[in-house]
Structure 1
Amino acid sequence: MKIPFRDQLWLQMDTPDNLMYINSLMWFEEIPDWDAITTVIAEKIVDPYPVFRRVSERRGRRWYWVDFPEFDFDAHFSRSTLPGDGGRDEAEKLISERISVPLPAGRPMWSIEYIENYHGHDGPDGQEGALVLFRVQHGLVDGVRLTQLLLSLCEIDDDALPPKVGRDLAPRGGLLRTATEAGAGLVKDSLGIATGLGGAAAVFPLTLTKLVKDVAAPGFQVTRVPTRVVESLTSIVGPTNKTANTYRALFRLLWEPRTPRRSWSGRPGAEKRVSWISGVDLAGVKRVAKAHDSTVTIVMTAAVSRALTEYLRTQGDKPLADINLMIP
């Protein structure tokens, strides 16, 4: 199966000091039946989606997902125990060490580690919990689809069905089905672009006015002109148009200028650090999101943005209107 260009980018950008991985951490208030969890992972993730049993291979100028003949399901799993009291400090140190190390080369790029002796969560006092660290290369799956997969591992009460997350995952299918769906998607995107352009013609003066305002926005830089033009023109197309979104993302990567140097500037290193908090009032976050017709993700991202702004202020830095990339 041909690897989409956007996924090739994740694979090619992967370096030891800046791994293109998605690291997911789950925890349990008590040690679960690991064999049962392993079975669920096989049934819900690895068996239905062949990409978890494949490796990338270059053929001429193109890259493909090909079956890994020596695939060993059990080799992707490991088990460990937190040292000492197994508190949050010990857990954060261990996870930081793990996510700093590249996955083994020459096999499907994902791993799962079961970690016991965890006492750092808000569970019953003295009760031993556990962690599950799931690491996967971003080229195999994006964040939304991985969220879908992780949610599929859980048993959900009929009266507590969560809202749908993202698009449906592509089921197992042959080359003909993949090509047919890809062609249909391109036709649909093209019709969407044509429709958007047709609608834009009727309001061209307004579109042109918006374009001029975008290009001449505060903090204007000549090198930002191509990006602002593309942003304005693609805004007339539906937000789910994959073709338009791909071109928009490419222009951002190619034309965006470097972020001005601040106290956090520097080169990425191989060593990474991770931390987390608990006790956040999720109900309160949801109320804020509802009051502003927004989402939990946007509210939390805004909180992180505010924290970063305060950090810059305490360091004596000037505030930033934009940053090129930030993953909270």
Structure 2
Amino acid sequence: MARRELMSNVDRAWLRMEEPSNLMMVTALLTTKEKVLYDDLLELLKERLMKFDRFRQRVILRGIIFEDTYWEDVPFFDPADHVTRTSIANENPRDELQALAGTLMSTPLDYDKPLWHITMIDDVREGTGFIIRLHHCIADGNALVRVLLSMMTTDKKLLKPEKEAESTERPTFLDPVVDVLLNAWVSAETMVKLSYRLLKRPSQVFDWAKMTIEGGFSLGRLVLRWPDPKTMLKQKLQNQKLASWSWEIPLERVKEIRRGAGATVNDVVVTAAAGALGRYLKARGEETTDMNIRAAIPVDIRQSTDPFAMGNKFGLVFLSLPVGMEDLRERLTEQKRRMDELKNTPEAFVSFLVLNTMGAAPKEIESLVVDVIGTKTSLVLTNVPGPSVPLYLAGCEVDNILFWVPQAGRVGLGISVISYNNKVRIGVATDAQIIPDPAAIVDAFQEELDAMHELFVGPETSPSP
């Protein structure tokens, strides 16, 4: 009989949140400058990704009302069953990849298999593209992105993974990338100040948990806060997702704004996102004066120092975005105040406890809670700092790394920011019913950053002839 392992309540909560209109998948896109061979990819999967049990296990449900959910080893597992090869016309690779990403984000994973899949796109310009889909029940977004990056190396000469003996310890061939990732994840300059604070002092989260009065206040605020305004973002969802992403933004440009404004990188990014949404809504006839909408922001609360530990170890904070505040300086000041206020509350840990309780309750109760919380937020917003040096996949340099965050319940908009090799990209995933043109939000985000750079750094100067 295949080995089974009971799924945690939190992981089960994310498993059961899946609906046809909101599939619980983290989706990533990688492109390389040179062609990756199919056999080399399979070798990488066997030697690196298969070290993690979750990628060799399928989900098994037992019971009716209070069902038990298990991870079960798949007999005779073959990673080739999780790789599909395709191609694009290459007439406009960016648009073609965006269309393919949207289609795959709308396509459920096969529940008879481990819940991940890689679509390998041959001949993306001179290189190869990969769209990777991973179910949220396997692990949270931070852990999944880190595991994905662990398949890469900082050394171009390492074309194939080295053979390693089976061990319960972290594989030693990951060490070079682990060092890069750990440096990136604890850097004071990263774009996730909320996550950074908890990662640096995780025991603080559990100290907060002892503050029952404040914790009770946070729980009350989580449940009783007013619903978000009924904008176009709150329309009924359909089953089609759309994906878009920005061109590369130099990370140093964002840091210049941070220094000029006396804020954090995260303050700058969130303020730009609020402005972009305000621009988008106003351009489509929404009355945005004094409007505020909430973004659900994941906050890592894991205690383990192992960045490759599986499972969902994060909570959510609900940040109010002043999308109706057009004055940039005032919006940044106000957004920073709200961010700082959230940092001093146990809201992330309280929401984690709520998720844990939801996973233990009957599915009908969980669905009700998800619907209630969904009325109080309009989007999911997350920032993930990647390594600041180039990485190589099977000896081929990775030139782009993007990802899109899933949404739950009635939420149909996700904004993801990731930095890699000192470049920043924004990814936008939308439900086609509420936002049929996600590229417009991407463009508005870039316009906001340009306006902030001019305000806090100064106008661009052309080089002398």
Question: Counterpart of 1:55 in 2: which secondary structure?
Answer: strand
1:241-268 per-residue CA deviation (whole Å, 9 max, x = no partner) reads xxxxxxx6x984x555532211333112
1:77 to 2:83 alignment: yes
Q: Give yes or no for the alignment of 1:322 onto 2:285.
A: no
Distance 1:108 1:161 in 2: 28
Q: Distance in 2 between matches of 1:163 and 1:293?
A: 23
Superposition deviation, residue 37 in structure 1:
2.8
TM-score calculated relative to the size of structure 1: 0.67
Contact 1:145–1:166 (CA under 8 A) maintained in structure 2: no
Counting helix residues as a fraction of each chain, which structure ranks higher?
Answer: 1
DSSP 3-state at the match of 2:128: strand
Partner of 1:40: 44
Amino acid at match of 1:87: P
Task: Please say if residues 115 and 134 of structure 2, whose CA atoms lie closer than 8 Å, have aligned partners that are also in contact.
Answer: yes
> How far apart, in 1, do the equivalents of 2:27 and 2:205 lie?
35
The C-alpha deviation readout for 1:207-229, integer Å capped at 9, x for no partner, is: 8xxx7xxxxxxxxxxxxxxxx95
1:56 aligns with 2:59: yes
Aligned residue in 1 for 2:238: 269
Q: How do 1:112-261 and structure 2 match up within 5 A?
A: 112-119=118-125, 128-156=126-154, 161-164=180-183, 192=207, 196-197=210-211, 229-231=216-218, 252=222, 255=224, 257-261=226-230
Q: Give the C-alpha shift of residue 108 in structure 1.
A: 0.9
Structure 1 residues 58 and 290: CA distance shift in structure 2, 3 A: farther
Residue number among 306, 310, 319 corresponding to 2:275 in the alignment: 306
Q: Which runs of 5+ in 2 are unaligned?
A: 156-175, 187-202, 295-376, 381-413, 416-465
Q: 1:316, 1:58 → 2: CA distance?
A: 44
Task: Kindly report which structure 2 residues correspond to 1:18-37, keeping only aligned pairs within 5 A, or say none.
Answer: 18-37=22-41
In the TM superposition, residue 281 of structure 1 has moved relative to its aligned partner by 1.8
Structure 1 residues 32 and 73, CA, compared in 2 at 3 Å: closer, same or farther?
closer
What is the root-mean-square deviation in Å for CA atoms of aligned residues? 3.2
Paired positions, count: 252
Aligned equivalent of 1:97: 103
Residues 153, 300 of structure 1: alpha-carbon distance in 2 compared, 3 angstrom cutoff: farther
Q: Displacement of 1:285 after TM fit?
A: 1.6
* Offset of residue 85 of structure 1: 1.5
Give the TM-score taking structure 2 as reference length. Answer: 0.48
Report percent identity of matched pairs. Answer: 24
CA distance in 2, matches of 1:5, 1:285: 39
Cα deviation, residue 6, structure 1: 1.7
Aligned position for 1:222 = none
CA offset digits 1:163-189 (Å, max 9, x no partner): 44669xxxxxxxxxxxxxxxxxxxx89
Looking at structure 2, the residues matched to 130 and 262 of structure 1 have their Cα atoms a distance apart, in angstroms, of 40
Deviations 1:132-154 (A, max 9, x none): 11001101111110121122122
Distance change in 2, residues 1:261/1:149 (3 Å): same
Deviation at 1:131, TM superposition (A): 1.0
Q: Which protein is richer in strand relative to its size?
A: 2
